[in-house]
Amino acid sequence: MDFHHLEFQSESFDIVFWAGSFAYATDLQQAASQAVRVLKKPGIIAVGDSLMGNATRETLLEGQPDIKDLITQIPKEVEVFTKGIGTIEKLEQYFKGDTVSNVDVLLTRKYSPSHANVILSYS
């Protein structure tokens, strides 16, 4: 299903768990809005995704020698691997939005050079 246009009814889920694909959305705000829409209130959204707004091949290769050949096959002009989610705060903001009220950040965690987890509670 296209996560920009979820076919679920509003407030269908107690928890929305989103791992490793948010950064691939063509419209990050639309995708996040859909996740918030299908979440029951109170509810939790947990996101684990990339923080690679300025990542290069060298950054991605740190500690990953087994994927070196795969990454070097990516065309040279491709230097940004996600849609510019460079900070945890930016990732949080997509899910907090300007119109969402009663949302608290329960956890943020950055790990490795380029990944993060964010857990938000909506009431």
Is residue 6 one of the residues assigned to a domain? no
Between these two residues, 70 and 85, which has the higher pLDDT value? 85
pLDDT at 82: 54
Is residue 100 one of the residues assigned to a domain? yes
Please list, in sequence order, all residues whose beta carbon lies within 8 angstroms of the beta carbon of residue 23, skipping any fewer than 6 positions away.
49, 50, 52, 81, 82, 83, 85
32-83, pLDDT tens digit by residue? 999 999 999 999 999 887 766 555 556 555 665 566 566 566 555 444 445 5
Is residue 97 one of the residues assigned to a domain? yes
Cα dist from 110 to 27, 40, 68, whole Å: 23, 27, 23
Domain membership of residue 52 as a residue range: 13-122
CATH of the domain at 71: 3.40.50.150
Rounded to the nearest integer, the mean pLDDT of the chain is 77
43-53, pLDDT tens digit by residue? 999 988 776 65
Domain count, the chain: 1
Q: What is the residue-wise DSSP string for the chain?
A: --TTS--SPTT-EEEEEEES-GGG-SSHHHHHHHHHHHEEEEEEEEEEEE--TT--HHHHHTT-GGGHHHHHTS-TT----SSS--SHHHHHHHHHTTT--SEEEEEEEEETTTEEEEEEEE-
pLDDT at 87: 74
Is residue 116 one of the residues assigned to a domain? yes
The listed range with the strongest mean pLDDT (15-24, 47-56, 96-105) is 15-24
